[in-house]
């Protein structure tokens, strides 16, 4: 699809751009190529092949939850608590 010079001027006016004639020609060519590509994509029919990814066959790829024992070892290195809150040194002195 060919984009006219008037279309580019209208877009430039809407976007409040001051474009030179050379830039308008360049944008017209670029927009024409983009629109042609979009038309090609729209004309393609989606593939109906079955997806080989096992997670894609399940709805949303959910997996079974597995319960594990939680150990508090990482929490042992925290600073001491006072009234349920951790006591830390001030970041700035």
H helices within the chain, ranges in order?
Answer: 5-14, 21-43, 54-57
pLDDT at residue 10 in the model: 94
Please check whether the domain covering 5-43 is classified as CATH 1.10.3470: no
Please state the pTM of the whole predicted model: 0.46
For residue 81, the SS3 value is: strand
Q: Render pLDDT for 7-39 as a digit per residue (tens, 0 to 9).
A: 999 999 999 999 999 999 999 999 999 999 999
Task: Count the neighbouring beta carbons within 10 Å of the beta carbon of residue 25.
Answer: 13
Domain assignments of the chain as residue spans, ordered by start: 5-43
């Amino acid at each position: 699809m060919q984009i006219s010079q008037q279309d580019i001027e209208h877009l430039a006016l809407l976007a409040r751009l001051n474009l030179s004639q050379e830039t308008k020609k360049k944008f017209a060519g670029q927009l024409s190529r983009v629109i042609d590509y979009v038309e090609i994509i729209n004309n393609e029919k989606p593939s109906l092949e079955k997806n080989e990814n096992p997670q894609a066959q399940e709805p949303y790829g959910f997996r079974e939850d597995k319960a594990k024992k939680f150990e508090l070892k990482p929490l042992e290195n925290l600073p001491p608590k006072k009234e349920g809150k951790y006591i830390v040194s001030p970041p700035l002195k």
